[in-house]
Amino acid sequence: MKKLLVPLIALLACGAVTAQTGATAGSPDSAASRLAGNKVDKSQLSFNIESVGKLIEGSSAARQIESSKSSDARDRREKARELHRSAKQALEQGNLEKSAALLAEARSVFFDAVRLAAPEEVTAKKLENDYLLRLESVQALLGAYKRVSKEKSAKGLEETVAQIEKSMAAAAELAKTRKFKEARTEIDRGYLVAKAGLTTLRSGDTLVRSLNFANKEEEYHYEIDRNNTHQMLIKVLVDGNKASGEMVQTFVAKGEALRAKADEAAARKSYDEAVKLLEDATAELVRAIRNAGIYIPG
């Protein structure tokens, strides 16, 4: 987490340097335009050059660039160094406007270098956070699935729970070695199994009463989400080379044909028909998923 704060710290440093430069407070001009403006205070500019020099050479952002694998980041830092040296030279020669403009460019180039050095770490942290959020979702869905299964005395509870927990365990092993991208793929499988299983349990005669749909159109949108979940699960299975049988493809094709008819019915505002067609379409996908080796109720 500490490393991810470096770009923010660097940007705050930039703001501090800029705020000390140029015209009086409250000016409508930007900090950069004040720095490069006609009225440049020599002592203030000298202080700013020293501050930017410390930023380029000794800051935590500079150390991040040094340890980065990005050659582009290091090249941009070298460019910032050159511009900073030129700004100092211009100040010594009494050309304050040129010095201020070069300093502004040096600072801008340095922050380009900081941004180039950070993406790998930022991406890694995002992958970790995405995995943890999806893990929470799976845990919540699994708990709900167990409760609803017991209420409805559903068959196959153990098989479905085992599939979900297997994905969670595999994802956890990957996360231990910080392979969060692969862990997210694995936990997504568990998430889809849990969600598909739960929505299937809640479908049927008691659906409208239990979910309190206002009308058939609202129920149609629920069934769309349910069908989409099953389609995504099929895709995960196919991508994992687990769904290669001819029977699986037959069920998927039937499901896609029924989904197309449901979409046509919904376009005509025939939501009763659309809901029934979607239920049938999802039932075909449930059969495909089971044939692919994943048990879900239905």
pLDDT of residue 291: 85
Share of the chain above pLDDT 90, in %: 38
Structure-token pair, residue 3: 């490393």
**Angle of CA points 270, 273, 278, to nearest 5°:** 120
- 266/22: higher pLDDT: 266
pLDDT tens string 73-115: 999 999 999 999 999 999 999 999 899 999 999 999 999 898 8
The domain locations on the chain are 3-117, 125-291
Q: Is the pLDDT of residue 31 over 50?
A: no
pLDDT in tens, 190-237: 998 888 888 777 664 444 444 567 788 988 998 998 899 898 888 877
Of 15-19, 125-129, 134-138, 219-223, the range with the lowest mean pLDDT is 15-19
Residue 22 pLDDT more than 50? no
114 by Cβ neighbours in 10 Å (0-12 / 13-18 / 19+) ranks as buried
| Range of 30-34, 60-64, 146-150 with top mean pLDDT | 60-64
Q: Which amino acid, residue 44?
A: Q
Question: What's CA 225's distance to the chain center, in Å?
Answer: 21
Q: What is the DSSP letter of 4?
A: G
Map tokens 């598909």 to a residue. Answer: 196
Provide the greatest CA pair distance for the chain. Answer: 87
Q: Is the pLDDT at 127 greater than 80, yes or no?
A: yes
CB atoms within 10 A of CB 211: 12
pLDDT of residue 158: 82
Residue tagged 């769309």 (tokens) = 224
pTM (whole model) above 0.75: no
Q: Kindly give the residue spans of alpha helices, DSSP state H, lying in 153-241.
A: 157-176, 180-201, 207-211, 216-239
Mean pLDDT score across all residues of the chain: 79
